[in-house]
Every structure is written in C-alpha cells, then in structure tokens.
C-alpha cells in the first residue's frame, strides 16, 4: 500500500517520502543524513528526487544522495537545482519512475520566482506538494516574487479539490493559526482547528498534511478576498483595501511583523 512518510529535518522542515513497496521518491531533501538513515533502517531504495524550489533547506541534501544513488532529479526549470535531470514548468505532467505516480506541475511563483507545486493521486487520493508556497494555516514569505504572483499562486492551489491533502515544507501550523486568530477571531472553524492541531503537537504528531478544504476555511491567506478578512486587514493597516491583491499584500505585511 503506497504511503507518504514525513522525515523531520533541521528545526522544522519536512522531507516527504512517497513510498510504494520498497521504493520511494524523495521530496525536498534539504538534508541527506536523516533521509539516508531512514532508507537504510527501512530497506527502502530511492527512485527519484523531486524539488519544489531552490532554497538550501529543500535541496541541500541532493548532492550527497546522488553520490550514493543515481536517480533522476525533477525540479523547476527556472531555478538552479543541484543535479537536476528533468526541468519542469507549469502544465507539464510527469511520471515518477518506480512508484507508479503521475503529477501535474503547477507554477506557483511568489516565495521564489520559479517555485513549482506538484499535484496528483497517491496513497488513496489527491495530494499536493507545495514546498514553501501554501503552508498549513499560512503561506511563505515573498522573497523573490510579488504579491500579485503569490495571490495568483495561492488562488490556483485553493481551486484544487477540497479533499486534496496538502504536504508543505515546514511545521509552522500553530504559529500560523495564532496569527489567523488575530485576523479572524470569530471564525469557529479556525478555533476548532487550532484545538485539533494543538492536540496533535502535544502527542508529538505532525500537523501536516491538512487539506485544501480545511485551508480554505481557516487559512487567512486563502481568504484575503472575503469581506471579514478584508475589513480586519483594513482596520489593522488603517486604510481601505481596494483590491484582493492589496488585501493579501497587507495581510502578508501584518504577519511579517506579528
Ligand atoms: Zn523556501
């Protein structure tokens, strides 16, 4: 039975293993050591590496993995990815060898300018690997892209089927939801979610994945166009929000200083 396994790395990163039998594809291996340790102890052989964007905490482990296993490296065409063999752009469809999985590539510029997300069916339903674009309860910082780009990227991800499981690159959920509560103190779905996620962390479990449906109901960065969120952002910024993008940009600024 295929499964998706989190490998914690650094302080709060997740490297994802897409396992099918004794073979696995590795998503965003920022560090090789925990991946090698897991593969060795479980007898799993890697078949491919998938990278969402060029930041070191997502690709830093690739050279050491390639030194041991010669596998294809799928990564964004517009970014520098170590050892990349397959350059991906939005609209591409890829077959990952060994694990019987097909993914659609979605361009999601904003956190970095060439960031991609991968969407497909695996382990019993639709799944999304979105790196540092959409976070559970939040979104990535705009290091290279513009608010327009990030809003369009997040809107594209929000339009995926609500049951889609969201696998992002970091365990940031509780901090994100604290901010979300400041934006939407009356959102009952958000309060219920925060209690659920706190319980998971108390048990030592990841809060990732969530689903697109949960994110649409509770993640303020997918809700910047809604009247209540727009009003809260305007009140915080002390000026009216004329457009959805303006509301999103001011919300991101608010979070940066929260
Ligand atoms: Zn990043």
Ligand 1: distance of its center to the CA of 233 in Å? 25
Ligand 1: distance of its center to the CA of 235 in Å? 30
Ligand 1: distance of its center to the CA of 226 in Å? 27
**Greatest extent of the chain over all pairs of C-alpha atoms, in Å:** 58
Beta strand residue intervals within 132-168, DSSP E: 134-135, 138-139, 165-168
Residue 1, pLDDT above cutoff 90 = no
Burial 78-110 (b: 16+ CB within 10 A, else e): bbebbbbebebeeebebebebbebebebbbbbb
Ligand 1: distance of its center to the CA of 142 in Å? 10
Ligand 1: distance of its center to the CA of 131 in Å? 7
Average pLDDT over the chain reads: 98
For position 33, what pLDDT does the model report?
Answer: 98
- Which H or E element spans position 158? helix 147-158
Is the Cα dihedral 144, 148, 152, 155 positive or negative? positive
Residue 3, pLDDT above cutoff 90 = yes
The pLDDT tens digits of the residues spanning 103-144 come to 999 999 999 999 999 999 999 999 999 999 999 999 999 999
Ligand 1: distance of its center to the CA of 53 in Å? 7
Distance CA 74, CA 94 (A): 9
The pLDDT tens digits of the residues spanning 5-35 come to 999 999 999 999 999 999 999 999 999 999 9
For position 147, what pLDDT does the model report?
Answer: 98
Ligand 1: distance of its center to the CA of 113 in Å? 11
Ligand 1: distance of its center to the CA of 117 in Å? 12
The pLDDT tens digits of the residues spanning 34-62 come to 999 999 999 999 999 999 999 999 999 99
Catalytic residues: 53, 55, 57-58, 111, 132, 170
The pLDDT tens digits of the residues spanning 174-202 come to 999 999 999 999 999 999 999 999 999 99
Read off the tokens for 151: 């809003």
């Amino acid at each position: 039975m295929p499964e998706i396994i989190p490998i914690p790395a650094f302080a709060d990163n997740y490297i994802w293993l897409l396992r099918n039998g004794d073979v696995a594809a590795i998503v965003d291996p920022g560090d090789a050591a925990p991946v090698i340790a897991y593969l060795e102890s479980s007898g799993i052989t890697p078949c491919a590496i998938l990278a969402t964007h060029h930041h070191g905490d997502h690709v830093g482990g690739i050279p050491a993995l390639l030194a041991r296993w010669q596998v294809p490296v799928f990564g964004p065409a517009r970014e520098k990815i170590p050892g990349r063999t397959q350059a991906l752009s939005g609209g591409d469809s890829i077959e990952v060898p060994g694990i019987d999985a097909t993914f659609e590539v979605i361009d999601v510029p904003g956190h970095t300018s060439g960031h991609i997300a991968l969407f497909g069916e695996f382990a019993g339903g639709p799944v999304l690997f979105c790196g540092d674009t959409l976070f559970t309860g939040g979104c990535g910082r705009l290091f290279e892209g513009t608010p327009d780009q990030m809003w369009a990227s997040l809107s594209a991800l929000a339009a995926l089927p609500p049951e889609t499981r969201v696998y992002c690159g970091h365990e940031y959920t509780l901090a994100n939801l604290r901010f979300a509560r400041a934006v939407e103190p009356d959102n009952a779905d958000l309060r219920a979610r925060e209690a659920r996620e706190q319980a998971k962390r108390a048990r030592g479990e990841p809060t990732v994945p969530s689903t697109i449906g949960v994110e649409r109901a509770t993640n303020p960065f997918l809700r910047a166009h809604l009247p209540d969120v727009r009003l809260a952002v305007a009140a915080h910024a002390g000026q009216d929000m004329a457009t959805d993008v303006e509301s999103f940009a001011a919300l991101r600024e608010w979070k940066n200083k929260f």
